[in-house]
Structure 1
Amino acid sequence: MKVESIHWKSSLPLTEDYIQDFGKVSDLFDYNPWQESSWGERAAWLDREDAILADRGQLAGVLQAYNKAIGNAPEAIKAIGKLKQQETLCIVGGQQAGLFTGQSLVIYKAITLIRSAKLASEKLGRPVIPVFWIAGEDHDFEEVNHMYYLSSDMQVSKIKIEHPTGKRSTVSSLKIAQEQWVTALELLDASLIPTEFKPGWMDLLHRIAAESNTLVDFFARIIAKLFGTYGLVLINSDDPLVRQLEAPMFERLIREHDILNNAVQSGKAKVEALGYASQVEVHEHNANLFVVDDEERILLYADGASGPFTDRKKERIYSREQLLEWAAYSPERLSNNVMTRPLMQDYLFPVLGTVLGPGEVAYWAITREAFHKVGNKMPIVIPRMEFTLLEGTIQKNMAKYGLSLDDVLNRLEGKQEEWLRSQDTLKLEERFEEVRSRFKEGYQPLVELIASINPGVGKLGETNLSKIMEQIQFLEQKATDAARSQFDASLRQFQRIGLSVVPMGKPQERVYNIFSYLNKYGDAWLYEILDSDIVPDGQHKVCYM
Structure 2
Amino acid sequence: MEIESVQLPFGQPITEAYVRRTRPEVESLFGSHPAEDTDWKRRAQWLKDQSANRVSAEQLATTLTRYNQRFNDSDEVKLAIEAIGNGAPVVVGGQQAGLWTGPLLVIHKAISVIAAARHAAELTGQIVIPLFWIAGEDHDWDEANHTLIVNQENQLVKIAIERPKGNRTSVSRTKLQQEAMLEAVKKLGETLPDSEYKRDLIASLTSFAKLSDNLSEWFAYTMGWLFGKQGLVLMDSDDPALRKLEGPLFKRMIERNDELEEAYQCGADHIRELGFVPQADVVTGSANVFLFQDDQGSAVGERTLLYKRDGRFENRKGTVAWEKEELLRIANESPERLSNNVLTRPLMQDYVLPVLAAVLGPGEIAYWALTGAAFRSFDMQMPIIVPRMSFTLVEAAVTKHMMKYELTFENVVNRFAEYKEAWLNGQDRYNIEARFDEVKQQFAELYQPIMDLVATVEGGLSALSETNKQKIMDQIAFLQTRTKEAHARQFDASLRQLDRIAVSIWPDGKPQERVVNVTVFWNRFGRSWLDRLLEVPFDCLGSHRIIYL
Q: TM-score, normalised by structure 2?
A: 0.93
Deviations 1:218-249 (A, max 9, x none): 21122112111111111111112211111111
* Cα separation, 2, equivalents of 1:350 and 1:375: 15
Partner of 1:75: 76
Q: Is residue 112–residue 536 contact of structure 1 (8 Å, CA) maintained in 2?
A: no
Paired amino acid for 1:538: G
Cα–Cα, structure 1 residues 166 and 400, in superposed 2: closer, same or farther, change >3 Å?
farther
1:343 aligns with 2:347: yes
Q: Distance in 1 between matches of 2:475 and 2:210?
A: 64
After TM superposition, the structure 1 = structure 2 runs for residues 252-291 of structure 1, keeping only pairs within 5 Å, are 252-291=252-291
Aligned residue in 1 for 2:117: 117
- Cα shift readout 1:401-450 (whole Å, capped 9, x = no counterpart): 21111010000000011101111111122223333344444554675578
> Post-superposition shift, 1:348?
0.9
- Pick from 311, 325, 332: which aligns with 2:329? 325
DSSP 3-state at the match of 1:247? helix
Q: Where does residue 36 of structure 1 map in the other structure?
A: 37
Mapped pair 1:393 → 2:397: yes
Q: Please tell me the residue identity of whatever aligns with 1:515.
A: T
CA distance in 1, matches of 2:170, 2:468: 67
Paired residue secondary structure (2:424) = helix
One-letter amino acid matched to 1:37: T
What is the rounded CA distance, in whole Å, between the counterparts of 1:147 and 1:85 in structure 2? 39
Once residues 498 and 6 of structure 1 are traced to their aligned partners in structure 2, the CA distance between those partners, rounded to angstroms, is 17
Match of 2:9 in 1: 9
Structure 1 window deviating more from structure 2 (93-102 vs 139-148): it is: 139-148
SS class of match (2:126): coil
Letter in 2 for 1:299: L
Checking the alignment, whether the CA contact within 8 Å between 2:116 and 2:538 is kept in structure 1 is: no
Change over 3 Å in CA distance of 1:430–1:197 after alignment to 2: same
Aligned to 1:420: 424
Which one-letter code corresponds to 1:400 in the other structure? K
Query: What are the equivalent positions in structure 2 for 1:38-53 lying under 5 Å apart?
Result: 38-49=39-50, 52-53=53-54
Kindly state the Cα deviation for residue 290 of structure 1 after the two structures are TM-superposed: 0.9
Q: 1:225 to 1:467 in 2, by over 3 A?
A: closer
Q: Which amino acid aligns with 2:515?
A: V
Match of 1:301 among 296, 304, 307: 307
1:360 Cα deviation from its structure 2 partner: 0.8
The within-5 A match list for 1:21-170 is 21-23=21-23, 25-49=26-50, 52-86=53-87, 88-170=88-170
Change (3 A) 1:423 1:319: same
Q: Deviations over 1:483-540 (max 9, x none)?
A: 2222223223222222222222221111111011101101122112213324243211
Q: Is residue 379 from structure 1 mapped to residue 380 from structure 2 by the alignment?
A: no
Deviations 1:176-230 (A, max 9, x none): 2222222122111112222111222222222222222222222112211211111
User: What is the CA–CA distance in structure 1 between the aligned matches of 2:417 and 2:234, rounded to whole Å?
Assistant: 43
Code of the aligned partner of 1:386: S
Q: Write the distance in 2 (CA, Å) between the matches of 1:451 and 1:330.
A: 85
* Aligned pairs for 1:436-515 within 5 A: 436-441=440-445, 444=448, 465-515=469-519
CA positional deviation for 1:168: 1.6
CA RMSD of aligned residues (A): 2.2
Contact 1:110-1:132 at 8 Å conserved across structures: yes
Give 3-state SS (helix, strand or coil) of 2:172's partner: helix
Consecutive unaligned residues of structure 1, counting only runs of 5 or more, are none
The residue aligned with 2:181 is: 181
3-state SS of the aligned residue for 2:129?
strand
How far apart, in 1, do the equivalents of 2:106 and 2:503 lie? 20
By how many angstroms is 1:369 displaced?
0.8
Structure 2, unmatched stretches of 5+, are 294-299
- SS where residue 47 of structure 1 aligns? helix
Residue number in structure 2 paired with 1:537: 541
Q: Can you list the C-alpha shifts for 1:22-48, whole angstroms capped at 9, x where unaligned?
A: 426224211122233221222233233
How many residues align structurally?
542
Instruction: Please tell me whether residue 370 in structure 1 is matched to residue 371 in structure 2.
Output: no
Identity of aligned residues (%): 44
> What is the alpha-carbon distance in structure 2 between the residues aligned to residue 361 and residue 412 of structure 1?
30
Which one-letter code corresponds to 1:155 in the other structure?
Answer: Q
Partner of residue 207, structure 2: 207
Normalising by structure 1, what TM-score?
0.94
For residue 31 of structure 1, give the secondary structure of its aligned residue in structure 2.
coil
- Contact 2:412–2:502, Cα closer than 8 Å, also in 1: yes
Give CA-to-partner distance per residue, 1:359-412, whole Å, 9 cap, x none: 111111111111111011211111111111112222222222211110100000
**C-alpha distance in 2 between matches for 1:50 and 1:97:** 30
